[in-house]
Amino acid sequence: MNNKPKLLFTSKSAPLILKAFDKGIDKNGLIIENSTKEPVLTPDNEEININEFGGLKKGSEIFIKDNLYSIMKLAEGKI
Amino acid sequence: MPNTHHQKKKYHKKSALESIEKYAEKKNTTIILIDDLLDPPNTPYIWDHKDKILTISVPRLQKLDEDVLLCLIRKVHSQGGILFNRDKNDVLESFKTYLDKNSNKKILDFFRKKMPESDFEALEMSLFLREQSKKGDDISIYKKEIRDKFGPRGTNISNLCSAGYFEDEFMKLSNELETDEYNAYYELAVGIRARALFVNSEMNVDTIEKAFDGMINKAIQYHIDKFNIHGIGKTNIDNIKKAISNKLKDADSTYSIEKVRHDKNIIEYCVTVNL
């Protein structure tokens, strides 16, 4: 059994999740590092718009899109 | 002189924050952030002991102490837990349940090393969607995601998967043919899209007839002696029937058409091309 906690957020509270990790959103809606203003990347080296932000996983910070491909990889434990 | 009212408020705040941290640390806890106020509105959280769900009102807790909320978010992450968008959580859970059931293991194990990795990923997604579709779920948005991620080739894999080609035809041929021969056939079916024509709702009678002619040309060019036409839904079925009727009027000795399936909501024709 998976004993790890899980936190479910809403699209409205997504910026709060980003704030907890010192991330922000640029003028184009891309999620960025606040310190460098560089876009964060998914494991497939894709930039993420806030509208397609699926979540975050440890390792150290793995950003996940909310599409089926990312969900499949997450369910399979491949990200 | 101490402000008793202020002390009382402070005490409640401290107590609430301590409780939130205590519940969040319990094993298997799911923390749900909501955008609304709870009832009563000054309550920052609700703890569901039975299901171990800690529901937190974001506006209320932000007002009390946003840092606690930010710490909580970081703590879930540092403990290896996932932070996930609630809107997509049902799909994630459905996918996990589907994987646990292992219902398509045979197909996946068979094709894992027999196709390009991206094709395999498209097949994995398509098999999941096929299961969801059987349960009556609307999968149209995810079919579009397959197209966005893998292009027309992915869409074709998804359609071929839905129609059963992978287990009914490709698996059998892979066992019967030499590897090179099978790979060439697979590429014609998947990449060139010469094995099957899948009619969708954006196609009218005219475009179906044009697509039909395109399939005949591919059959001649690549020496494929048959292809099938698939349609689901009343409009597609009606349009296919009209297009086939028109093609039969024009038919010469190049091809013959046979209806191989016509259920309430599905139609399938097999076109044999005289090469």
| Exposed / middle / buried, residue B167 (Cβ in 10 Å: 0-12, 13-18, 19+) | middle
Asked if A56 lies within 8 A of B125 by C-beta distance, the reply is no
Within-domain flag for A69:
yes
Query: A33, A22 in Cβ contact below 8 A?
Result: yes
Q: Domain-by-domain residue ranges, chain B?
A: 4-83, 86-192, 194-275
Domain containing A39: what range? Answer: 14-75
Asked if B82 lies within 8 A of A4 by C-beta distance, the reply is yes
Residue A60 token pair: 């150290």
E strand or H helix that includes residue B204: none
Give the total number of structural domains in chain A. Answer: 1
Whether A34 and chain B come into contact, CB under 8 Å, resolves to no
Residue B49 token pair: 């002991």
| Residue B255, beta-bridge partner list | B273
Per-residue confidence of chain B (275 residues) as pLDDT tens digits?
Answer: 444 444 444 446 667 778 888 888 888 899 999 999 988 888 899 999 999 999 999 999 888 888 989 999 999 999 899 999 999 999 999 999 999 998 899 999 999 999 999 999 999 999 999 999 999 888 988 999 999 999 999 999 999 999 999 999 999 999 999 999 999 999 999 999 999 999 999 999 999 999 999 999 999 999 999 999 999 999 999 999 999 999 998 767 789 999 999 988 999 999 999 98
- Give the Cα separation of B90 and B21 in Å (integer): 26
Asked if B85 lies within 8 A of A72 by C-beta distance, the reply is no
| Exposed / middle / buried, residue B179 (Cβ in 10 Å: 0-12, 13-18, 19+) | exposed
Name chain B contacts of A54, Cβ cutoff 8 Å.
84-85, 88
Quickly count: other Cβ atoms within 10 Å of residue A64's Cβ: 25
- Give the Cα separation of B248 and B124 in Å (integer): 38
The residue among B201, B212, B269 whose CA lies nearest residue B239 is B201
Within-domain flag for A21:
yes
Domain covering B194-275: architecture = 2-Layer Sandwich (3.30)
Helix (H, G, I), strand (E, B) or coil at A68: helix
**Four-point Cα dihedral B200, B206, B211, B215, nearest 10:** 130
Within-domain flag for A38:
yes
ipTM of the assembly? Answer: 0.94
Name the B residues in 154-193 with CB < 8 Å from any A CB.
none
